[in-house]
Amino acid sequence: MALLEARGVNVVYEPSRGARIWSVRDVDLEIGQGEFVGLVGESGCGKTTLGFALTRMLRPPARLTSGLIRFDGTDIAALSGERLRRSRRNGVALVLQSGMNALNPVRTIERHFGDVLRAHGRPGEATRLSAAREVGARLLEQVRLDATVLRRYPHELSGGMRQRVAIALALALRPRLIVFDEPTTALDVVVQQAVLQTIKDLQRDHGFTAILISHDLGVVLNTTDRVLVMYAGRIVEDQPSTELAHGEHHPYTEALLGCYGDPRADSVELHGIPGTPPDLSQPAAGCAFAPRCPLAEEICIRVNPALTPLGAGVGACHVRARAQRAPVVEVGHVG
Amino acid sequence: MRYVLGKVGLFLVTLWAAVTLNFVLPRLMPGSPVDAALGRLAQSGRPVTEAERRAVEIQLGLPDTNPFVQYWEYWRSLVRLQFGRSYSFPTETVAQTIGKALPWTLVLVGVTTVVAFIIGTLLGIYAGWRRNRLPDASVTIGSTLLGAFPPFWLGLLALYVLAFQLDWFPIKGGYVPGATPNLSPTFLGDAAWHSVLPAATLALTSLSGWVFGMRNNMINTLGEDYVVFAEANGLRSRTVALLYAARNALLPNVTAFGLTLGGVIGGSVLVEGVFSYPGLGNLLFIAVSNRDYPLMQALFLAITVSMLVAIFLVDLLYFRLDPRVRR
Amino acid sequence: MTTITPSMKPSAPPGPPATASVPVAIGPLRFLGRALGTLWANGKARIGLVILAANIIIALFAPLLAPHSPTSTDFKPYSDPSASNWFGTTGNGQDVFSQMLYGARVSLLVGLLAGAAATVFAVVVGLIAGYRPGVVDDLLSFVTNLTLVLPGLPLMIVLAAYLPSRSVWTIVLVVAFTGWAYGARVIRSQAKTLRTREFVSASLLAGERLPRVVFREILPNMTSLVAGSFFGAATAAVMAEASLEFLGLGNPSTVSWGTILYYAQQQNALLTGQWVLVFAPGLAIALLATSFTLINFGIDALSNPRLREK
């Protein structure tokens, strides 16, 4: 049985003034125990919203309008109040995008650990600061930080250190699944690599299931086993990471891959994606990528493609699906 | 440490500027306040000694004298607390008159501000936490309305209803007429009883500033990432509301304390006038009615200095509250 | 597998800067209409606008609405509300109801005028300080902070006491003189932030001169801030005016809500049982001040989306 199962998830933003925005549309996914999944797409594609929906962190004006979210068999979309709070322990954890700001500026790190322990301790169990220090030191060591960090305040740590502390705090919950929302976006490239490596090692050592959300395809391909590509609120492709280097893919995925060039090559041709992202307040009936797609056909504008087998995984493209079914198999490289 | 030194410096410079302003004002004003003051003094019945006359001139303006010399003399007399004599209270020096009134105002404003700050902050936290639902709306509208009533009007109303009609509280003064101020329990008890209405009036009118500031700060803070992360980690609501949100939302309020204190003091002037409460505000009322310039000058200085000291103390408190300034 | 390094993002055109958008010039009348419409949508601001409108109507049409002249002393003094004197009469035999209606004029005048003067001064100081870093900014900031720290009402009292003549204009002057500092501080910090925005740099690079940039690019982006400042200053002005007149620092022969209270206090209206004399002006002052504050709620919600009502 899949550890995390989502069926028909739809999220809508309903601001008090202005149009409703369909942020996540009809998302189905299954993630198995121990998988390391990447969720990639451009800004505004709904990946962060989906991440928040899966961790039950949506707040008004965002709303989960429909869908089933099952974690280890339990429907967590139905939880609320104290039961929802308690479910955070040993369940699904969220590590936020800006580790910069994820820590309370007026509390020391050891008090942060203390707060988490106290929140999930058994009633009556006194959680003294010494216990927090012990747990904190142990967890900090796992994220490659020294125990002296415990007595510091967040503003005394660098961005990378704060991000690691946030990961350590999430680990304190002994989660079985961690959603990392853009964990390295606010960091410079060198620190990025270090943090990503730490995350990979933690995942391997602890065995938790992980979802890494990023707009940076390079980061995702480097770190994860499986990639989900999102566009305009829908999942348009789902492949093992290793498969993305070759074969045919959803035109959007191919365009994303085409944006990167080899810096060591003598000459590099860079391509952008023409057009603009769609207006999410007016969802199209057909494929959302059609206006920008080089392969678009008449059916693409009329009918939204479902996820059908594509290569080693699935993809939502009429043209590719047809080619997949055709007897002649094309072999080619992505540019 | 740098923060503390900075605040000390700021305090000293502002103090200097306020004192200088106090020096400049009567000398800029049309109509020669010094002559008016001396004239009134002469009419007050008691003979004016040379020292007193000189003191008044130093405060208000010596004609035909080098302004720098006057300035120097001004500071000298300040340090010695020689403000001359007022004609509203001809039997004592201005310094003595103020000295008697100062404790009353300090206690009134001090207690009121602390109480209003605490209650206002708590209400603001509550309103911000439950924004746009009934508690928020009622707290917001209630305190807007309260804050819109001029302090003296609320005072008059309270005076009429609670003191005059219902006779629950004394009508005027700080203590029973005829008693001599002392530190005995009976006197203190009596003084406290007389302070209830003025304090309550002042507290109610200054409440709204704290409530709004805190409510808006709470709403802004609740959108911060560390609050979201705390919820994602399953911390209890109360922990999040108080230790994560409110504790941070409090900080801008403390910074703004100095600004609101000016308003509280203005309110205290009016409230003291309405209740004839024997503090600095009441003295100012009397001084203005009598065009008693020496007294007015000294009062303004006393009020301003007290305020600056209070602000300085609060700035030091901020040092304790926000670890980010402790570099 | 070779590492793929990102070198270019998809070429969707960048959206406009997060908060300040490049302003489009529209006529002032349409701008005002649009502003009013937006304010009307906010519940609290709507109530404020209604109250303000009522006050303006009363002030404008006072001669038509008032049954008697506010200054004529024809009536029996100290009398309770009656058919001819709805609110009773003062100790000098004047009709309180008519005085209340005419009094709206003074309060509105002082509130709006002093508020406007304070705001203009605040905008000028704030813009200059925010846009010219260095000595100019330091000096202006120091003066602003000093004015903020000095206790407002005592300062006003002292100033008013020194001035030889007593009139409504004295009060307007004194209130404006002390009330500009808060707005200046707010505007200065906003100007400092806007100074670094791209569209300002773009204008300067295109050769526009600084004053033009300030007035045509920066100022339109601060309208809600300036409006908020104005209403805040107006609120303070109304309260200050009432307080000063209550203390006897206004012209005693002016007919205003504050002077009604002054006479009520002098003539011990509460002790003679004439609570209307105290209740009515206070309530009127409170309502006018509240209306400004409520309108400010609407303006706050406009500029900070988090504060908007759901």
Residues of A in contact with C308 (CB under 8 A): 16-17
Query: B172-179 long-range CB contacts below 8 Å, 24 or more apart?
Result: B172/B275, B172/B276, B172/B277, B173/B275, B173/B276, B173/B277, B173/B278, B174/B104, B174/B277, B174/B278, B174/B279, B175/B278
Is the minimum CB–CB distance between C198 and chain A shorter than 8 Å?
Answer: no
What share of chain C in percent tops pLDDT 70? 84
DSSP lists the bridge partners of residue A68 as A7
The dihedral built from the CA positions of residue C241, C244, C247 and C253, taken in this order, carries a sign that is: negative
pLDDT of A331 higher than 70:
no
**What confidence score (pLDDT) does residue A122 get?**
62
DSSP letter for each residue of B132-201 = TSHHHHHHHHHHHHHHHS-HHHHHHHHIIIIIIIS--S-SSSSS-TTPPP---HHHHHHHHHHHHHHHHH
Distance of CA C160 to the CA centre of its chain: 20
Peptide bond into A61 cis (omega under 30): yes
Is the minimum CB–CB distance between C310 and chain A shorter than 8 Å?
Answer: yes
Q: Please give the ipTM for the structure prediction.
A: 0.84
Q: Return the ∠ at Cα A139 (arms to A135 and A143), rounded to 5°.
A: 165
Q: What is the DSSP letter of A23?
A: E
Q: What is the token pair recorded at B194? A: 């007389």
**What confidence score (pLDDT) does residue A40 get?**
92
Is the minimum CB–CB distance between A42 and chain C shorter than 8 Å?
Answer: yes
Of B29, B144, B263, the CB nearest to C162: B29
Is the minimum CB–CB distance between A85 and chain B shorter than 8 Å?
Answer: yes
CB of B270 closer than 8 Å to CB of B281: yes
In chain C, positions 237-296, which contact chain A (CB-CB < 8 Å)? none
pLDDT of C9 higher than 50:
no
Q: What is the token pair recorded at A294? A: 């080089």
Q: What is the DSSP letter of C89?
A: B
pLDDT tens digits for C238-294?
Answer: 888 888 888 888 777 888 888 888 888 777 776 677 778 888 888 898 889 888 988
Q: Which residue has the tokens 């606010």?
A: A186
Helices (H), A107-182: 109-120, 129-142, 159-171
Distance of CA A30 to the CA centre of its chain: 14
Rounded distance, CA B202 to CA B105, Å? Answer: 12
Which phi-psi region, left, alpha or beta, contains residue A144 (left: φ > 0; alpha: ψ -120 to 50)?
left
CA dihedral in degrees (C34, C40, C44, C48; nearest 10)?
Answer: 90
Residues of B in contact with C142 (CB under 8 A): 13, 17
What share of chain C in percent tops pLDDT 90? 5
pLDDT of A228 higher than 90:
yes
CB of A113 closer than 8 Å to CB of A169: yes
**What confidence score (pLDDT) does residue B154 get?**
81
Which residues lie closer than 8 Å to B16 by C-beta, 6 or more apart?
none
pLDDT tens digits for B130-185?
Answer: 877 787 888 887 887 777 777 778 887 777 777 776 767 766 766 666 666 677 77
pLDDT of C16 higher than 60:
no
Of B226, B235, B251, the CB nearest to A102: B226
**What confidence score (pLDDT) does residue C12 get?**
32
Confidence of residue C114 (pLDDT cuts 50, 70, 90): very high
CB of A209 closer than 8 Å to CB of A29: no
Distance of CA A289 to the CA centre of its chain: 21
